[in-house]
Amino acid sequence: MKLSRPLVLLAVGAVVALALLAGIAYIFKLPPFREKGEIKAGEVCSSLGSSSNAVDALTKVLPEESSYSFDENIDLRTDVTDTNFESSCFVAGGGKQLLVAKARLMEDESATSWTQWVKGTASNEVSIQSLTPFTAGDTAVSSSRFAAVFVPCTSAGKAPGGQYNLSVSTELKQEGNTNDAAARDELIKLAKNAASYAHVKAKCDMAPNLGGTS
């Protein structure tokens, strides 16, 4: 069956338009031609723990960007009587903040009280929706955008005020391509690895009860 001239021109025009769009996408590295940046072990924040484990988890959970950058701040605990320890890791890419991981030494408190407090440290309400517990530390909660663990650190009598714990959290600011269950698993891995690092650097004397890190 012969196509009329207008239909032929329309079909040719559609093909040309698609080719132009594909060319533009390729030139400007838009999907599906965007080059995925490599997360290098030497650039990852030390406060995320084992660099190989951190790279693996970050690669799975972060959205695809052409490059990634890491910014870190650590306030080390000087001795066992010091009650200050904090660390933070900020991961950015594509002009956006992608993930934040934080650790802080604080006085021990009930699971309910800590959970309410740690919710307030999240920057996005989406992060703390559907929080469910997981097994780690004294208590731990997570969602597909947030994971936090309260880890025993300094026993009563070693520092002023009684027992101190480490509150460690990871928050995914920009959703990646991973499904919710997988994203939750990777954030838990990052939180547990960051907690393991913080436990050593904060000169803790109590078992962290992390059940192993991956």
Spans of all domains in the chain: 1-34, 41-201
* Residue of 37 and 161 predicted with greater confidence: 37
Listed in sequence order, the residues at least 6 apart from 97 whose beta carbon sits closer than 8 Å to its beta carbon are 90, 91, 173, 174
- SS (HEC) of 15-57: HHHHHHHHHHHHHCCCCCCCCCCCCCHHHCCHHHCCHHHHHHH
Confidence of residue 16 (pLDDT cuts 50, 70, 90): low
Q: What is the pLDDT of residue 208?
A: 93
Does the pLDDT of residue 113 top 60, yes or no?
yes
pLDDT at residue 32 is higher than 80? no
Task: Write down the pLDDT at residue 156.
Answer: 80
Which amino acid is residue 16, in one-letter code?
A: V
The answer, yes or no, to whether residue 4 has pLDDT greater than 50, is yes
Identify the bridge partners of residue 87 per DSSP, sorted by sequence position.
74, 103
* 159 pLDDT tier (thresholds 50, 70, 90): confident
- Give the C-alpha distances (Å, rounded to integers) separating 110 from 70, 139, 181: 33, 9, 27
Contact 58, 183 (CB under 8 A): no
Please report the pLDDT score of residue 7 as a whole number.
55
Q: What is the mean pLDDT of the chain?
A: 86
Structure tokens at 142: 């997570």
pLDDT higher than 60, residue 28: no
- Name the one residue in this structure whose structure tokens are 């780690």: 136
Tokens of residue 9, six digits: 């021109």
pLDDT at 30 over 60: no
Higher pLDDT, 154 or 7: 154
CA distance 213 to 84: 24
Answer with the residue of higher pLDDT: 84 or 157: 84
Mean pLDDT of 111-122: 95
pLDDT at 13 over 50: yes
For the whole prediction, is pTM greater than 0.75?
yes
